[in-house]
Amino acid sequence: MSKIDKQDSFTEAEPISAQKTERETAAEAPEAKVAEKTADVSVEDEAERDAETGGEGAGQTESPSRRRRMRHLLFALLPLALVVGGYFYVTGGAVMDSDNAYVRADTVSVSTDVSGIVESVAVHDNEQVKKGQVLFRLDPLPFQLALEKANGQLGIAKAQLAAQKGAYAQIQTELKQAELDVAFYERDFERKKTLQAQDFASRAQFDESQHNLQDAEQNLASLKTQLAQAAAKLDGHPDYPVEKLSGYKYALAERDEAARQLRHATVRAPFDGVVTNVPKLQVGQSLGAGAAAFSLVATHHVWVESNPKETQLTWVKPGQPVSVTVDTYPGVTWHGTVDSISPASASSFSILPAQNTSGNWVKVVQRIPLRVKIETPDDLPTLRAGMSAEIAVDTGHVRGLPTFLTDWFGGATAHAKSGKASSGKASHG
């Protein structure tokens, strides 16, 4: 019984291969679950990407046709672009522009033609002044004294000339009396001569009469000389008023010169503008005649000086309209006209001109100065000398067809005309 019970308690043993298969299956089960989960996630991600891209795969299939359509469109637009570009090229080129341009203005070094001590300076640096406004003054005392002296000399000259006119009149009176005396002594001499010839008068009486006549003639000659000298002192026109005589005019000119120097001791602005470098002049400074005190730059009379290349001036002429822009004021345009074109290049006036005959000569494009007259209305900003500018001159001359095309068309036209002419001559013959 015991042996049977022991046998019943044991189960039938499984094969070893089956046991291995079960163990491998049990080990692979978790890996399969992980792979299934990974596959599910990848499928969901692909679905989301498809939803976001809107079906990129379908677009990739359509891209060749889209590129083909774009290529056809570009080929169709190419002739149109060439036509439009050619039109703008042929009709363009009428404007000559240059950025080598600067604002210029009348500039003067303020000075005076008299010398003296600076008494006061009436302006400060960069002040706007008007024409006739006082800029500075010299000490007026020396000039006032000179004016008084000149006035005195004028009075003396007038009195001297009046006295000379009186002396001339006196000599005239004496001359008339001397002429009467000569006439009387001539008659007396003739009478005594006749009486002496008839022995009715003595020789002494005859000699006395002759002597009296000679004295009268000498006195008359002397008075004539004195009268001529008096007339010469009166410019040969003793009948002129004193104010017209040279002596008076000289003294009057001296007086006027003294008055002018007194006026010029006060220096005024010659035109509207802005004064600069005023601190150079100080009160108490000795300023010589003609020495520059400071500078005055005009604000209204301004122009633009440009230096375009010589190749840019082919169709530029005076009077053509010009648009001017200044770097300081972007977006603001001034209008003007071409005022003048220099007759020579800027290098022609240099101290050392180009030596074009030397062996190492290099051709350099020259620049010709051009002056532009511009309008400066009050509503536009103030232009200052030295500002950088750009000009655009409307020459009205378009670029036209290229030279090789005009030459080709011109040659073809001439050839056609010559052919027609030769055929006409043949038919006529």
Q: Which CATH class is domain 140-262?
A: mainly alpha
Q: What is the pLDDT of residue 41?
A: 42
Decide: residue 171, CB within 10 A, 0-12 exposed, 13-18 middle, 19+ buried: buried
Q: What is the pLDDT of residue 15?
A: 46
Q: Are 388 and 327 a contacting pair, CB within 8 Å?
A: yes
DSSP at 368: -
Count the Cβ atoms, other than its own, within 10 Å of residue 395. 18
SS3 content of the chain, % helix, strand, coil (to 5): 55, 20, 25
Q: Which CATH class is domain 95-106+299-349+364-403?
A: mainly beta
Structure tokens at 18: 């089956």
Contacts of 57 (CB under 8 A, 6+ apart): 50
Q: What is the pLDDT of residue 6?
A: 40
Q: What is the pLDDT of residue 235?
A: 86
* d(C-alpha 283, C-alpha 269), whole Å: 18
pTM, 2 dp: 0.62
DSSP at 306: E
């008068």: which residue's tokens?
201
- Count how many residues are written for the chain: 429
Amino acid residing at 227: L
């073809």: which residue's tokens?
412
Amino acid residing at 27: A
* d(C-alpha 30, C-alpha 136), whole Å: 110
Domain parsing of the chain, residue ranges: 19-53, 95-106+299-349+364-403, 112-139+265-291, 140-262
Contacts of 159 (CB under 8 A, 6+ apart): none
Q: Is the dihedral of CA 124, 129, 131, 132 positive or negative?
A: negative
Alpha-carbon dihedral 169, 172, 174, 175, rounded to 10 degrees: 170
Furthest-apart CA pair in the chain: how many Å? Answer: 247
Query: Which residue(s) pair with 128 in the sheet?
Result: 274
Q: What is the pLDDT of residue 129?
A: 95
- List the end-to-end C-alpha distance of the chain, in Å, as a whole number: 158
Q: What is the pLDDT of residue 58?
A: 46
Q: What is the pLDDT of residue 405?
A: 64
The tens place of each residue's pLDDT in the chain, 429 residues long, gives: 444 444 444 344 444 444 444 454 444 444 444 444 444 444 445 445 554 444 444 445 457 788 888 877 877 788 878 777 776 666 666 889 999 999 999 999 999 999 999 999 999 999 999 999 999 999 999 999 999 999 999 999 999 999 999 999 999 999 899 899 889 988 888 888 888 777 777 788 878 888 888 898 898 899 899 989 989 988 888 889 999 999 999 999 999 999 999 999 999 999 999 999 999 999 999 999 999 999 999 988 899 999 999 999 999 999 999 999 999 999 999 999 999 999 998 888 877 776 666 667 778 888 999 999 999 888 999 899 999 999 999 998 887 666 666 666 665 555 555 555 545 544 544
Q: Are 381 and 302 a contacting pair, CB within 8 Å?
A: no
Query: CATH code for 112-139+265-291?
Result: 2.40.50.100
Q: What is the pLDDT of residue 83?
A: 72
